Amino acid sequence: MNIIDEMKVMTFYEKFEQIVVLALTFTISIVIVVSLLKLGIEVFDLLAAGVIDPVKPKSFYTVFGMIMTILISLEFKYSILKVAVRKESVIQVKTVMLIALLAISRKFIILDTEKYSAAVILALAAALLSLGIVYWLIRERDDNSACL
């Protein structure tokens, strides 16, 4: 069944949902491409300036933070695309948990420990651990229901 045949049997709301999903996918794709270009320019500038130095990890934090941002965007786009191809009707909680885990992991990668207190770092760690547990529980539930 092609997209035109599928659109014929959809309700008005389902058609609206598909248009919104496609618009979001297009927008996120543009953001990813622009981010990738900026990452390339940033890496080139850092290399040209000789700033990338293993002894000075600050430049690595910048580059890795940008890479993680692109990965988070890709995961977000993928979750929206699953709705577009009608594999799922809504964004799954498991996907939202994964994106949140990636976002907090990104924060840890670029975290400047001199700027934040131990309490803030502990709070981020607790949030990451909590999200990880919830993600694991959801995944376990999904894996167990798939076996039935």
**pTM value surpassing 0.75:** no
Per-residue pLDDT, 37: 95
Note the pLDDT of residue 54: 58
pLDDT one digit per residue (tens) for the chain, 148 residues: 566 677 677 788 878 888 888 898 899 999 999 999 999 998 888 778 777 665 666 777 778 888 888 988 888 888 887 776 766 555 577 888 888 888 888 888 788 788 889 999 999 999 999 999 998 888 887 777 766 6
DSSP 76-94: HHHHHHHHHTTS-SS--HH
Q: Shortest CA distance to 112 belongs to which of 60, 39, 41, 38?
A: 60
pLDDT at 119: 93
Q: Which residues contact 91 (CB under 8 A, 6 or more apart)?
A: 79, 80, 83
> Is 61 in the same domain as 111?
no
Same domain, 84 and 147: no
Supply the pLDDT for residue 91: 58
Q: How far apart are CA 68 and CA 28, in angstroms?
A: 15
Domain range for 124 is: 92-148
Of 39, 70, 88, which marks where a domain is finished? 88
- Same domain flag for 19 and 74: yes
Looking at the fold, whether 107 and 82 belong to one and the same domain comes out as no
Among 62, 88, 114, where does a domain finish? 88
The CA distances from residue 37 to 40, 112, 118, in Å, are: 5, 25, 35
Residues 59 and 106 in one domain: no
